[in-house]
Amino acid sequence: METPSSMVKNTSCSDQSTGKSPSSNSPELHNDHYDNDLMLESFLRVSDSDSINTSFHRLVESRSSDSDKHDFIQRAIHLSFVLLEAGKRSDRKRCSLHNTVVWPLPPDLTIKVFAMLDTQSVCYAAATCSFFQKCAADALCFANIDLITSVPKVNNGVVSSMIQRAGNALLSIKLGVLPHGTSSLFGSSEPLVSNIRNSSDASGVSWNDKRSRQGKESCILTRSCLSSLSENGGAPGARLRRLHLFNIERMDNAALLTSLASCPFLLDLEIVGVHVELRQTLESVSKHCPLMERLVFESSKTGRDDCWKTPACNEFVRNCPNITTLALKGFKLQDYKVHMLLKGLCKLKHVDFSNSFSFTGACLKNLGANGGGNQLEVMILRDCLHLKETEVEHFLGAVVAGEFKLLRHLDISNREGLASDGGDWIHRCYTASFIPIKQLLEERPDFTLVAEFPERSYSDAEQTTPSDSDSYVSDEDDDEDDEDDNEEEDDDDDDDDDDDNDDDDDDDDEDDEDDDDEHEDREYHRAALESRIREFEEINLRRMEEQTRQTTESITRMEDFHIAHIYGMELERNRAFEYQERLRHHYDYHAGLPYVETPPHVDYSTLGPYTQDKPHLHYPQSHPSRWLPLQPPPTSPEEGSSSQSLLGSRDPRSVYLRVMESIFGPPSRSP
């Protein structure tokens, strides 16, 4: 008796032997397919997994030999795999058909839609279906790479992969870490400088996630994160228009300058919290990026970068005339440098010098008369430590007089207050009373002035001076004198009436009573006056104490800043000294001279006294010089012995003989 499979084999063999195609099969083959369909359908109808497990176990146990059981199990595994693959293929076909109905856009329009999304959304869409995956693989979808996160999640491999996908279509790159609740918009007062540790702690990430990243560098951007821009002769960076870098701690000058050299058409550059120098960065921008229009640079070490000299400033102004937005925040900018920038950059509209040091504002009063700053629309001078009150007043007077007609926004807010005249940085101005606000609003109704100062300051306590209380007390004295005069007049009138009555006894009694009442009134007013005087003295004493406390705190902050600044300068000198010492050691080594270790130079006279209250100031230790010879001196041979020291001779044969002698003893001599 033939099974259906044997019948199929025989039929196929007969068809092949007769030269007929498989399509001309007998109706038995179609019946066989129909039977298989019914059998599979009935099998899939069984939803009880326990019954299937029991049936399969019975069938396995019904086999006589172990080999039959093994073959049966393998056939079941193969059948389950075939069913799984068939189910996946059918599901993909059904999903594709569903996507063609639900998503009506063709691939070219889908790619344009994906190009408008951020990088993270494109990656999410690519994982949805095969159609989106093919569309997301297009280079236009990665033309604007945005990998800014609140915690470190991106490494160099991800950035390199994105740049390679974009290819020649790359237009924008945004990398780094930004804290929660901050934005990179121009003029934002929120601090953007951060570090990886702070961003991780403030992000709300669980401890297990942090612990899994400890000791790994997989989520840290390093100095080579932009190395792909210079590959293939700089082709990926040839069309780059925007580059934003935020808090990449391991980026250095060499890596950034190499990347900027590969971006000749860069228009927008923003660098925040990156440990690079202002001078080298702006020199590279003026040399390789002459089309620059927007430059935002926020220092990671506030007030300590003072390496930008006048020639470099002139070169920057001359080579980058198209800049419309300039923000240099946290640098040491003198007034003459600011004047060169505002006057030389004729197209400048938005400027931000927040947290700048050494900038007093003296260059602003003559800026309009010299033909500079006519295109300015926004000027932000927030938290400039040395900005003077008088210079701001002169500048606003020029605005009221009709200069800077396009200026519509000015920010002079300061957490430490504006500096007073006379070069004394301790006395600060915490009020905007010197600003002619009424005239300013009348002349420029669309002008916005931001002047935020601390609410509680000793200048507020001085608003009600002791002279006010004195005047108040003098008024009380005048009132009391008037009352006394009135009472005396009343007494005189009473005396006249008594004289008219001609009653001497009654007059004496009334005079005594009037004297007693007058005495009591005077005592009452004197006590009230003394209590008020004591009250005003206590108020003035509290004001003086508050003023003294705030002045002491301001002086302490200034001293801490100057100490930290001087300490940083000393460290830079020590680094330069150590570099020169290394060069000298290198030359001495090649010249055969002994190695001399010299301690680093530390000028302790410029540093403040060491106290336990300031553990953040680290003082380097100085050690005495010591001589370290490169090679031990040769030892002289003993008398009567032909052997020398192992290191005393440079002859290889002599060294070999001494080593063998030290191991096996002296050689035996024949008689």
Q: Domain ranges for the chain, please list them.
A: 333-454, 466-606, 631-671
DSSP 488-538: HHHHHHHHHHHHHHT-HHHHHHHHHHHHHHHHHHHHHHHHHHHHHHHHHHH
pLDDT higher at 181 or 55:
55
Query: Is residue 415 over pLDDT 50?
Result: yes
List, for residues 535-592, the tens digit of each pLDDT value. 788 888 888 888 888 888 888 888 778 777 777 787 787 788 778 877 877 777 777 7
Q: Out of 37-51, 300-314, 486-500, 528-542, which region has the weakest mean confidence (pLDDT)?
A: 486-500
Which residues are within 8 A (CB) of 384 and not within 5 positions of it... i.e. 6 or more apart?
353, 354, 355, 356, 357, 359, 361, 414
Dihedral angle of Cα 575, 576, 582, 586, to the nearest 10 degrees: 160
Band the pLDDT of 49: cuts 50, 70, 90. Answer: confident
Query: Is residue 95 over pLDDT 90?
Result: no
310-319 helix and 278-288 helix, angle to the nearest 10 degrees? 30
Query: Is residue 80 over pLDDT 70?
Result: yes
**What are the b/e assignments for 295-323, b being 16+ CB within 10 Å?**
bbbbbbebbbbbebeeebbeebbebbeeb
The reported pLDDT for the residue numbered 37 is 78
Q: What three-state secondary structure class fits 411?
A: strand
Place of tokens 């019975």: 58
Query: Is residue 640 over pLDDT 70?
Result: no
Name 352's bridge partners: 327, 380
Q: Out of 22-36, 315-329, 482-496, 613-627, which region has the weakest mean confidence (pLDDT)?
A: 613-627
What's the average model confidence in pLDDT over 78-99?
Answer: 84
What's the average model confidence in pLDDT over 123-130?
Answer: 84
Q: Could you tell me the CA-to-CA distances from 577 to 166, 207, 275, 377, 399 in Å, in that order?
A: 46, 43, 21, 46, 50
Q: Are 285 and 256 in contact (CB under 8 A)?
A: no
The reported pLDDT for the residue numbered 512 is 60
The reported pLDDT for the residue numbered 221 is 85
Query: Is residue 66 over pLDDT 80?
Result: yes
Q: What's the residue count for the chain?
A: 671
Q: What three-state secondary structure class fits 448?
A: strand
pLDDT higher at 39 or 393:
393
Quote the CA–CA distance of 364 and 338 in Å, as a whole number.
Answer: 9
Q: Out of 165-169, 318-322, 600-604, which region has the weakest mean confidence (pLDDT)?
A: 600-604
The strand pair at 418-419 and 428-429 is best described as: antiparallel
Quote the CA–CA distance of 438 and 449 in Å, as a whole number.
Answer: 12
**Tokens, residue 587:** 């030359």
Quote the CA–CA distance of 168 and 280 in Å, as a whole number.
Answer: 28
What's the average model confidence in pLDDT over 614-619?
Answer: 49
Name the phi and psi angles at 243, rounded to 5. -140, 115
Name the phi and psi angles at 298, rounded to 5. -115, 125
Q: Are 164 and 174 in contact (CB under 8 A)?
A: no
Q: Are 307 and 282 in contact (CB under 8 A)?
A: no
pLDDT higher at 45 or 643:
45
On whether the pTM is more than 0.85, the answer is no
Q: Out of 18-32, 234-248, 509-523, which region has the weakest mean confidence (pLDDT)?
A: 18-32
Q: What percent of the chain has pLDDT over 70?
A: 65
- For residue 585, the surrounding DSSP H or E stretch is helix 504-591
Name 326's bridge partners: 295, 351
pLDDT higher at 158 or 424:
158
DSSP 324-355: -EEEEESSB--HHHHHHHHHH-TT--EEE-TT
Q: Out of 109-123, 126-140, 554-568, which region has the weakest mean confidence (pLDDT)?
A: 554-568
Would you give the DSSP letter of residue 388? Answer: B
**Tokens, residue 406:** 């396009």
**Tokens, residue 26:** 């007998």
Q: Return the amino acid letter for 513.
A: E
